[in-house]
């Protein structure tokens, strides 16, 4: 799949237009296919796409389509979405041939840039010795 990254999405990050005060959630727009991204996985509960500022050779953002602000906001009715995230991780690790060489990261409220629960799937950095 040869899709270019969204200039609009990149500009939102660069110019600080994505903030906690944003009235429309960027990840909800991505889940609704309103903002183009390189989609790595999608089902009825989850969408996963390439991070626009990768911190590793593979850096995929996994987002429940249902808007959940963060880990602290997960409710009793969100179990399907959370299970969907972990099933997506399994499928992505297999599809991207990551084997056991990956980690899953979630940022707390003071560290995330977008108030929509999301996870970062990263493979280990490759040494170039």
* Structural domain of 62: 7-123
Q: What is the pLDDT of residues 28-82, one digit of tens each?
A: 999 999 999 999 999 999 999 999 999 999 999 999 999 999 999 999 999 999 9
* pLDDT, position 125: 57
Asked if residue 81 is part of any domain, the answer here is yes
DSSP string, 8-71: HHHHHHHTT---TT-SS-HHHHHHTTSS---EEEE-SSEEEEE-SS-SSSSEEEEEESS----G
Rounded Cα gap, residues 4 and 20, in angstroms: 27
Asked if residue 87 is part of any domain, the answer here is yes
Burial zone of 116 (CB within 10 Å; 0-12 exposed, 13-18 middle, 19+ buried) = buried
For residue 62 the two structure tokens come to 């996994």
Active site residues: 118
Q: How many domains does the chain have?
A: 1
CATH of the domain at 119: 3.30.428.10
* pLDDT, position 15: 46
């Amino acid at each position: 799949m040869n899709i270019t990254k969204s200039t609009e999405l990149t500009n939102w990050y660069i110019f600080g237009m994505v903030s906690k005060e944003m009235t429309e959630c960027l990840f909800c727009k991505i889940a609704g296919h309103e903002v183009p991204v390189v989609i790595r996985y999608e089902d009825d509960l989850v969408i996963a796409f390439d991070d626009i500022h990768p911190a590793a050779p593979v850096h995929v953002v996994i987002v429940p389509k249902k808007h959940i602000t963060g880990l602290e906001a997960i409710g009793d009715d969100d179990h399907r979405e959370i299970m969907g995230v972990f099933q997506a991780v399994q499928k992505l690790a297999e599809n991207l041939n990551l084997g056991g060489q990956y980690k899953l990261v979630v940022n707390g409220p003071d560290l995330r840039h977008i108030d929509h629960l999301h996870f970062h799937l990263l493979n280990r950095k490759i040494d170039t010795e």
